[in-house]
Amino acid sequence: MYSYDWDPLTGGYLLNSTPLSFSKEPRPVYYQELDILGFNAKWKYPKSDAYPLMWTEANNYYYRGKLVARTKGGSICQAPELIFVDDPEPAGEELRFVDIPAMVEKNKNILESLTQETIKKIYNTYLSYQKKVDVFYVAFSGGKDSIVTLDLVQRALPHNEFKVLFGDTKMEFPDTYKTVDVIKAKCEQEGIDFITASSHFDPAESWKLFGPPSTVTRWCCSVHKTSPQIILLRKILNKSNFTGMAFIGVRASESLARSEYDYISLGEKHKGQYSCNPIIEWNTAELYLYIYANNLFLNEAYKKGNRRAGCLVCPRAAERNEYMCAVCYPKEVEKYSSIIKSLYSKSFPTEERLEQFVSSGGWKARKNGRDLDVQMNYNEINTAKGITLRIEHPKTDWREWIKTIGILESDTTPYSIIFRGSRYSFELDEKEDAITVLISQSTCKENPLFVKLLKNVFRKAACCVGCRECEADCHNGCLTIENGKVTVSNECRHCAECHKVDKGCLIYKSIEMPKGGFSMKQKSLNCYSHFGPKIEWINQYFMFKNEFDANHDLGSQMYSFFKRFLRDAELIDINGFSRFAKVVERIGLDDEASWALMLTNLAYTPQIGWFVTHTGFNELYERNYILSLLVDDGAKESWVNDIWSAYSRFTDLPFSNVGLGIPHKDSGKFVGFTRTSWLNPEPKVVLYALYKFSEACDNYRQFTLTRLLNREIESDGISPTQIFGLDRTTMERILNGLANNYPEFISVSFTLDLDNINLKDKTSDDVLSLFEGV
């Protein structure tokens, strides 16, 4: 909320009443962190954690208001590089503690004002919703945010009017469990009901069943956190369709996504459940000040340099955080690293390659079960007759699951079912441990929703291991899962809430095989969440180049997805600032050619490639139409708004001038776009796109212009005409010019009804040399 200035006298900071537009999230630094990173080799400091010694913003370390060091890089296996900027104390003298009592005293008035305002809002929320909800509870994680939230709530509300709910994933930091024990004991003293929810799965078991969680397939939160919480509260309240309000320690300054959260929301996590975010406007400067001012318990994980206190191994963790976690809790981290290695072992020819894959975080990008050593027992085949489903060794009874979508009228094939007032049929052959289902082509055309849900029924039957996500999603108490057995009551309302998980089943979605089996490229339409790149971020990257990691001011989530963009655009490689990036820098970001080159690379990535291949030129595409297309093409319904938001960011960049789309806005809101042709195409960019096209088509180097102009032909290659909106006349002019100027790269023939294009024995990388010679 408030900005701050460093205070050299106390070694801390002073809040001021100026609102802070972007927080760098200052964090106290204790001696343990300095030891782990190796600062003790140069600095002397007291080995006591009574008080912090300095502060850090991102990777920059400040001692009494002065930047003294920064860290760069790091991974789960490699310590960050230390860069010393200035001496903290003259003549190598011992560092002094931050004078926390004095810092608290100096900030007393502004902190008290913020505290009282927050407590008042919590109390007023309680009064407003007291008759609307069945239970108030603090969602407790053991982290700093939930500790502050709990303290504020217990000051605002009667202690018998709320509960504290700890969602134990069984993957928490060991120091978090120590924190939970301390807070639980204190709650018992204060008469506050402290309860713990956890999955019946041991994480080691669930990781082997579902595959490692990734940035795309984050099944872990549902299985190990949110679902157990909902099921426990139902049991305690003895009410299946209860309404709760969770006080959650979410802050806007943590990420762009959270900056868009409301103070109170409904159904953000589970339908019918309220979330209240009391400290949504706080930043860490205020958070730590509150902790020190009120002598609250601080999770020891923070003192060891961990920026977050969550799961031991998280696909969203930054690389530096992975290193700190691995050093602090090596035994616990190795347990999950070993599982990852065992599941991927058959995909790598050597141990060295496997180790590199794990240490580089390659497992985080997993989108399906393609590379895992797991078995999928469900298969779909599209034929002229319709869709055939084959299930081998089903884990649960399809006759129970089918109750969730309608009423089965017959006991033998062909089966007849009443679905939302209409009758549909399907054929089913059941032999021993195998089921074959045929859904006719006419049914597929008549009601795609029914077909979608029917496929979900058999995916659940094939794959369900009893994670209880579906049970948590059923607000009417009609579905229970006990010891792996699924029971759906005859009172089921067929609301299909238990089908809202993408593809109908968490485990199916996590380990499904992409179409085309093991050889097909992985595909996800949600590459950037809603963190599409901004021009400021791109400018920062080109300013700092290989020093970007140490100097950027992006939040952790923004940084993670921006790095994905840099990789997708080929602006970064294993050595950092790539050759391609140097070409773009040489051309200049003020030149459309730079953006066209980047767009060519992005066209071969799932998200931008989808827009390039699914939309045409000079046509207005409105939001709802695009979202429906995305869902039809397999995007999660929960993702499509993020995909749309990310695309709006891309259209705000000069990509819009080279074929990606001119944004249409209503009152500043992105409501649609129109793709328009690149008016002044640079021929060498078209040549680069042609070689990219060839390389995607197994290096086939002979094709026709007619082929390039035909959007109906399915191909792994994406034509420059499709990327930039170039017509035949423009292409003929460009291609003739290229053939004349660069005969070592291309030859063409547009005579005697021929329109042949021949690429020479070169590569797209070779084309880049033409720009380097400018």
pLDDT of residue 147: 97
Beta bridge partners of 359: none
Strands 244-247 and 135-140: parallel
pLDDT given at position 634: 75
What is the third-level CATH fold of 108-303?
A: Rossmann fold (3.40.50)
Q: Give the position of tokens 């989808």.
A: 610
Q: Is residue 708 helix, strand or coil?
A: helix
Residue labelled with tokens 């997708």: 568
In angstroms, the CA 673 to CA 655 distance is: 12
Tokens of 659: 């074929």
Distance CA(606)–CA(673), nearest Å, equals 19
E strand spans, 567-684 = 572-573, 576-577, 620-622, 662-666, 669-674
Tokens representing 403 are 């109750």
Provide the 8-state DSSP code for 20. P
pTM here? 0.69
* 10-residue mean pLDDT series, the chain (774 residues): 92 87 81 96 96 94 96 85 95 96 97 97 97 96 96 98 97 97 97 97 94 86 94 95 94 56 77 88 95 97 92 84 92 93 87 84 78 86 87 96 95 94 95 93 89 95 95 93 93 93 90 54 65 92 92 83 92 92 95 96 92 90 85 78 91 94 90 93 96 87 84 80 93 93 90 72 93 75
User: CA distances (Å), 40 to each of 36, 44, 95, 98, 632, in order?
Assistant: 9, 6, 11, 18, 57
What's the CA angle centered on 631, arms 625 and 634, to 5 degrees? 145
Q: Is 472 in contact with 197 (CB distance < 8 Å)?
A: no
* CATH top class, domain 683-772: mainly alpha
Assess contact for 71 and 320: CB atoms under 8 A: yes
- Do 319 and 361 contact (CB within 8 A), yes or no? yes
DSSP summary character for residue 223: I
Domains of the chain: which residue ranges? 2-99, 108-303, 319-365, 378-519, 535-674, 683-772
Residues 336 and 323 sit within 8 Å (Cβ to Cβ): no
- The greatest distance separating any two alpha carbons of the chain, rounded to the nearest whole angstrom, comes to 93
| Contact assessment for residue 655 and residue 589, using Cβ atoms and an 8 Å cutoff | no
* Pair 719, 706: CB distance under 8 Å: no
